[in-house]
Amino acid sequence: MTIKIAVNAASGKMGQQVIHQVAANNQTELTAAFCRVGHRLLGRKVGFQDIVYSSDFDSGLSGSEVVIDFSLPEATFPLLDAAVKNNTPLLIGTTGFNSEQTEKIQNAAKSIPILLAPNTSIGVNSALALLTQAAKMLGKKADIEIIEAHHKHKVDAPSGTAIRMGQAIAEAMGEDFDHLKVTDSRFQKCSRNKGEIGMSVIRAGEIIGEHKVLFALDNEIISIEHKAQNRLCFAEGAVSAAAWLASQQPGFYTMQDFISSSH
């Protein structure tokens, strides 16, 4: 039996990669591909599959066991409402939600399973575990800097992954990330304060996604780095996690829940 997967924002870079990966995974099948109303792809066949691009959430979700969303926050919420209405589990890979929007997603997770993942790659989620270890050993002694680089089209900054890395580091140190993070200190002509977590952002060219965390001591530097070689690493993790999410109880999940359940 294959798991029936719907894909939102199917016209996007990630939407296309997820569609490719759903077909490549022998445990999953594509049952719906959503594009916004008026999109030029609507009514066209999705590759060689027996599915056409559609904007009808209700009919697509009714034949699906889980839906995957990589879009923009304003596009996620109409899908969230439809997923709750159709009782369809939802994996959200979209980034850039503010705290009010995140709270709305967490509330919806009282009625359906929702996995919210600013980064769905297995590699980044392994890096998060390493960062937690490093922060416990070095966090109080080191200057910590998170440097992230993405393509010039990305609209949110710092990236959702960089924020998640900062939160994991702060949690391991027993601190609140919002109190430690500094995003613009280099422009204020002041030296670095003890204990801050600096965030540096690069937007250039077509960089897929790179994150590097420095733990700088006075005489040595430890760095933990992840570089996405292509978007398939995000799609692979998203499709595997969505297949798992399809059979979970209503609740709010992260990639760590999926990874720890599969070991």
Ligand X SMILES: NC(=O)c1ccc[n+]([C@@H]2O[C@H](COP(=O)([O-])OP(=O)(O)OC[C@H]3O[C@@H](n4cnc5c(N)ncnc54)[C@H](OP(=O)(O)O)[C@@H]3O)[C@@H](O)[C@H]2O)c1
**150 tagged catalytic:** yes
Position among 3, 6, 7, 9 found at the interface with ligand X (CB under 6 A): 9
Q: Cβ closer to ligand X: 23 or 75?
A: 75
Number of residues that bind ligand X (CB under 6 A): 23
Q: Cβ closer to ligand X: 71 or 240?
A: 71
Indicate which residue of 20, 85, 104, 154 is catalytic.
154
Return the structure tokens found at 44: 């066209």
By the rule CB under 6 A, 21 interacts with ligand X: no
Please give the Cα distance from 114 to 250 (Å, whole number). 7
237 φ/ψ angles, rounded to the nearest 5 degrees: -65, -40
Q: Cβ closer to ligand X: 180 or 255?
A: 255
Please give the Cα distance from 34 to 36 (Å, whole number). 7
104 φ/ψ angles, rounded to the nearest 5 degrees: -65, -40
Position among 28, 71, 86, 88 found at the interface with ligand X (CB under 6 A): 71
Q: Cβ closer to ligand X: 96 or 195?
A: 96
Indicate which residue of 150, 181, 211, 212 is catalytic.
150
Q: Cβ closer to ligand X: 92 or 173?
A: 92
By the rule CB under 6 A, 158 interacts with ligand X: no
Please give the Cα distance from 80 to 82 (Å, whole number). 5
- Alpha-carbon separation of residue 215 from 106, 124, 136, 220 (angstroms): 32, 17, 11, 9
Residue 5 CB, shortest distance to ligand X, in Å, is 16
As a whole number of Å, the end-to-end CA separation of the chain is: 22
Position among 3, 12, 109, 139 found at the interface with ligand X (CB under 6 A): 12
By the rule CB under 6 A, 76 interacts with ligand X: no
Please give the Cα distance from 146 to 162 (Å, whole number). 7
Find all residues with CB under 8 Å of 30, minimum gap 6, and list them: 5, 6, 7, 19, 22, 23, 46, 49, 51
**154 tagged catalytic:** yes
Tokens 């899908």 -> residue: 79
Residue 156 CB, shortest distance to ligand X, in Å, is 6
Position among 94, 135, 199, 215 found at the interface with ligand X (CB under 6 A): 94
Over the window 108 to 147, marking each residue x when it contacts ligand X by CB under 6 A and - when it does not, the resulting string is ---------xxxxx--------------------------
By the rule CB under 6 A, 20 interacts with ligand X: no
Q: Where are the beta strands (DSSP E) in 64-150?
A: 66-69, 90-92, 113-116, 143-150
Binding-site ranges for ligand X (CB under 6 A): 9, 11-15, 36, 39, 70-72, 74-75, 93-96, 117-121, 234
Catalytic residues: 150, 154
